[in-house]
């Protein structure tokens, strides 16, 4: 496999890889909860934020992918190699804490969704989902595991289908997007920040860069770091662009459909206080019918199965990259013991949190806070690395990506300021 365009049937689909998987993982059960909350609370009045965030998300994810492809190293690995080690340790610690809380919330939501569908013990289901995901990562070769993740991306179409089951007043939707009706107060500001923070998250930067590294390391893959093989650059940059744009546009369209479903079914019927994705699914049943409820619930399980290994895997990439240890799903457990130890540890802690007295809603809120704090300095470091020829060789950023990348960083910085300014007021 090379970066050049594959030929024949389904050639376009075969070009899609890390970007599509990363984009789909952004719509995990925790993200579904956030989108459902803002849709239920404000109807169509937050959907404009997805149009704002989409080009910013595309830029920072494409830049992250380029770092991995050009250098042959992940985000944390490059931070450790080229800059003060302390930055890598601090940022990685923040990302991993947020990942663990997010993973716990996701497996809990998956367990709750299956309970809604068939009854039974939600915690037992959550545990089985988490352990099953861990075993797949440990014992299925990455070359075979990556296609599984691609297939799981299809579960997001459940949220597209849900919209077409319910009646949508498209004229009102367009008006609500262009002329949002909302009180611009602290609560609304927090809702917009929540959408931004859910859509642009540090674990996604780490994962997409690492997937480029994984594909370089495959023994039968002719791809090499672009610093070593600059001739592969044009095809690689083109592929990353197609892959990332496809994945992030898909991600934001699905997020829009989730907000739209909550707006049409819940907000329009006075159900404005939704805390979890399971509550959103349950609230759909009496209003939209059993089929919409089942689709929404099944989608949560599919997206959770996609995102849980990405949360655990990005934690492993981050920790081992920061410490200079061998990492990667392309290695067998005995070849990268530290990496797989992180996967096991993160997953077990995530399971344990579901059995603890910790309020999952508050935990998820604090996860968003930590992610919001970590995202801005992480993005600053990504931009600095991507403009450094020691990291990128001759493939430093062009003017367009510099502008969009720094714009994304600035917007997330403003979001972090707003988050702290409104702290406790929402």
* Rounded average pLDDT over 271-285: 75
Q: CB within 8 A of 369, min separation 6: which ones?
A: 419
CB burial of 157-189 (b: ≥16 within 10 Å; e: otherwise) equals ebbbebbebbebeeeebeebbeebebeeeeebb
Question: Taking 80 as the threshold, does the pLDDT of residue 313 lie above it?
Answer: yes
Identify whether the C-beta of residue 301 lies closer than 8 Å to the C-beta of residue 116.
no
Q: Where are the domains of the chain?
A: 11-421
Mean pLDDT lowest among 226-235, 249-258, 356-365: 356-365
Tokens representing 368 are: 């968003």
* pLDDT, mean over the chain: 86
Distance CA 68, CA 237 (A): 12
Compare 163 and 113 and report the one with higher pLDDT.
113
Question: Taking 80 as the threshold, does the pLDDT of residue 43 lie above it?
Answer: yes
CB burial of 98-109 (b: ≥16 within 10 Å; e: otherwise) equals bbbbbbbbbbbb
Q: What is the pLDDT of residue 9?
A: 47
What is the number of residues in the chain? 426
How many Cα atoms occupy the beta-carbon half-sphere of 334 within 13 Å? 0
Q: What is the pLDDT of residues 186-206, one digit of tens each?
A: 788 888 888 888 889 999 999
Tokens representing 297 are: 């619930």
Q: What is the pLDDT of residue 403?
A: 97
Distance CA 407, CA 281 (A): 35
Question: Taking 80 as the threshold, does the pLDDT of residue 85 lie above it?
Answer: yes
Helix/strand number for the chain, H first, E second: 19, 0
Question: Taking 90 as the threshold, does the pLDDT of residue 34 lie above it?
Answer: no
Q: What is the pLDDT of residues 244-271, one digit of tens each?
A: 999 999 899 999 988 988 888 888 778 8
Distance CA 289, CA 272 (A): 18
Architecture of domain 11-421: Up-down Bundle (1.20)
Q: Is 268 exposed, middle or buried (0-12, 13-18, 19+ CB in 10 A)?
A: middle
Q: What is the pLDDT of residues 20-31, one digit of tens each?
A: 888 888 888 888
Q: What is the pLDDT of residues 317-337, one digit of tens each?
A: 999 999 999 998 888 899 999
Identify whether the C-beta of residue 241 lies closer than 8 Å to the C-beta of residue 395.
no
Tokens representing 26 are: 């952004």
- Hey, what's the torsion of the CAs at 338, 344, 345, 346, to 10 degrees? 110
Name the most confidently modeled range: 27-41, 142-156, 241-255, 351-365: 241-255
Question: Taking 80 as the threshold, does the pLDDT of residue 182 lie above it?
Answer: no
Distance CA 314, CA 157 (A): 25
Q: What is the pLDDT of residue 426?
A: 53
Distance CA 16, CA 351 (A): 32
Distance CA 115, CA 109 (A): 10
DSSP string, 262-321: IIIIIGGGT-----SHHHHHHHHHHHH-HHHHHHHHHHHHHHHHHHHHHHHHHHHHHHHH
Distance CA 138, CA 132 (A): 10
Distance CA 104, CA 56 (A): 28
Question: Taking 50 as the threshold, does the pLDDT of residue 1 lie above it?
Answer: no
* Rounded average pLDDT over 224-240: 91
Distance CA 324, CA 337 (A): 13
Q: How far is CA 181 from the centre of its chain?
A: 29
Q: What is the pLDDT of residue 398?
A: 94
* CB neighbourhood size of 308 (10 A): 29
């Amino acid at each position: 496999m090379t970066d050049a365009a594959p030929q024949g049937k389904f050639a376009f689909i075969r070009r899609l890889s890390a970007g599509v998987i990363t984009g789909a993982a952004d719509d995990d059960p925790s993200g579904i909860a956030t989108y459902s909350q803002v849709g239920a609370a404000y109807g169509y009045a937050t959907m404009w934020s997805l149009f704002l965030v989409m080009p910013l998300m595309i830029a920072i994810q494409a830049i992250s992918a380029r770092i991995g492809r050009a250098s042959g190293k992940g985000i944390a690995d490059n931070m450790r190699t080229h800059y003060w080690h302390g930055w890598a340790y601090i940022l990685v610690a923040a990302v991993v804490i947020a990942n663990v809380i997010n993973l716990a919330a996701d497996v809990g939501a998956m367990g709750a969704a299956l309970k809604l569908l068939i009854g039974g013990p939600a915690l037992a289901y959550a545990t089985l989902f988490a352990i099953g995901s861990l075993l797949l990562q440990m014992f299925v070769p990455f070359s075979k595991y990556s296609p599984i993740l691609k297939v799981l991306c299809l579960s997001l179409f459940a949220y597209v289908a849900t919209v077409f089951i319910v009646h949508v007043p498209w004229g009102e939707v367009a008006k609500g997007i262009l002329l949002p009706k909302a009180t611009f107060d602290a609560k609304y500001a927090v809702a917009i920040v929540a959408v931004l923070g859910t859509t642009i998250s540090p674990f996604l930067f780490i994962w997409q860069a690492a997937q480029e590294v994984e594909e370089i390391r495959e023994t039968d893959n002719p791809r090499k770091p672009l610093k070593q093989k600059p001739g592969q650059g044009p095809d690689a940059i083109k592929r990353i662009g197609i892959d990332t744009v496809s994945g992030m546009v898909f991600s934001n369209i699905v997020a829009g459909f989730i907000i739209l479903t909550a707006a049409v079914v819940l907000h329009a019927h006075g159900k404005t206080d939704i805390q979890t994705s399971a509550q959103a699914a349950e609230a759909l049943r009496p209003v939209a019918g059993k089929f919409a409820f089942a689709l929404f619930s099944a989608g949560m399980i599919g997206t959770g199965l996609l995102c849980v290994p990405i949360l655990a895997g990005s934690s492993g990439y981050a920790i081992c990259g920061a410490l200079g240890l061998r990492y990667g799903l392309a290695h067998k457990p005995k070849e990268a013991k530290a990496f797989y130890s992180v996967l096991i540890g993160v997953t077990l802690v995530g399971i344990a949190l579901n059995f603890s007295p910790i309020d999952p809603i508050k935990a998820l809120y604090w996860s968003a806070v930590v992610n919001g704090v970590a995202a801005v300095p992480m993005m600053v470091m990504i931009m600095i690395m991507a403009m450094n020829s020691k990291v990128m060789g001759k493939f430093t950023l062009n003017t367009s990506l510099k502008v969009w990348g720094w714009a994304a960083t600035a917007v997330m910085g403003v979001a972090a300021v707003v988050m702290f300014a409104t702290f406790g007021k929402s």
